[in-house]
Amino acid sequence: MLGNAISVTATMLTLALAHGGAMAQTGVQRIGWLQGCWATVGNDGVVEEQWMAPRGKAMIGSSRTAAKDELLGYEFVIVREQGDQLAYEVRPSGKAPVVFVSSTLTDSSVVFENPKNEFPQRVGYQRNGQNAVLAWIEGTRKGASQRVEFPYRQVVCAGG
């Protein structure tokens, strides 16, 4: 009996390796490409995001925006599997959490929406090659459409 189980496991592993070493990703694993450290630097300062690898059907991230020696803002985020969608729960600069739910999810992009949020109503991430991610927030503010983009490059995580 044990021999059959080992044989089946070995066959499955061989098939997985024959197909590029990866089985189809599901849930939060589909945005695993977001793990690591990302930054965009401009005249106004730096925006950084750091994401932990998917584990336990969740990813945890944090960000900070700083100019010179001043912290302008920060966020803590958890992305969890919620049925066949992902829930993006963000806690911006000590304020109450806001939850956005995935409306689009591919192997290289994700868009989260919360039409009831004041601004933004959408948060998105698009993978652009191995070392770049375009993040954005968008929606309507005071009756006008607005989009703010964050063209991140992958960076070495601080302290490691």
Residue 65 lies in a domain: yes
Mean pLDDT of successive 10-residue segments in the chain (160 residues)?
46 37 76 98 94 98 96 98 97 97 96 97 97 98 96 90
Query: DSSP states of 32-100 as a string?
Result: GGG-EEEEEEETTEEEEEEEPPPBTTEEEEEEEEEETTEEEEEEEEEEEEETTEEEEEEEETTS--EEE
Range of the domain at 102: 27-155
Q: Which two tokens stand for residue 97?
A: 């959490």
**Number of domains into which the chain is organized:** 1
Residue 13 lies in a domain: no
pLDDT digit string, tens, across residues 124-146: 999 999 999 999 999 999 999 99
51 close to 63: Cβ distance less than 8 angstroms: no
pLDDT value of residue 25: 81
Residue 10 lies in a domain: no
pLDDT value of residue 158: 83
Residue 143 lies in a domain: yes
Looking at residue 61, which CATH number applies to its domain?
2.40.128.20
pLDDT value of residue 150: 97
Cis geometry, peptide bond prior to residue 120 (ω within 30 degrees of 0):
yes
pLDDT value of residue 37: 98
Q: Which two tokens stand for residue 73?
A: 């803002």
Residue 135 lies in a domain: yes
pLDDT value of residue 44: 87
Residue 4 lies in a domain: no
pLDDT value of residue 3: 53
pLDDT value of residue 159: 78
pLDDT value of residue 1: 52
Residues 6+ apart with CB under 8 A from 77: 60, 61, 62, 63, 88, 89, 90, 91
Residue 151 lies in a domain: yes
Distance CA 49, CA 124 (A): 14
Q: How far is CA 34 from CA 5, 69, 134, in A?
A: 35, 27, 11
Residue 3 lies in a domain: no
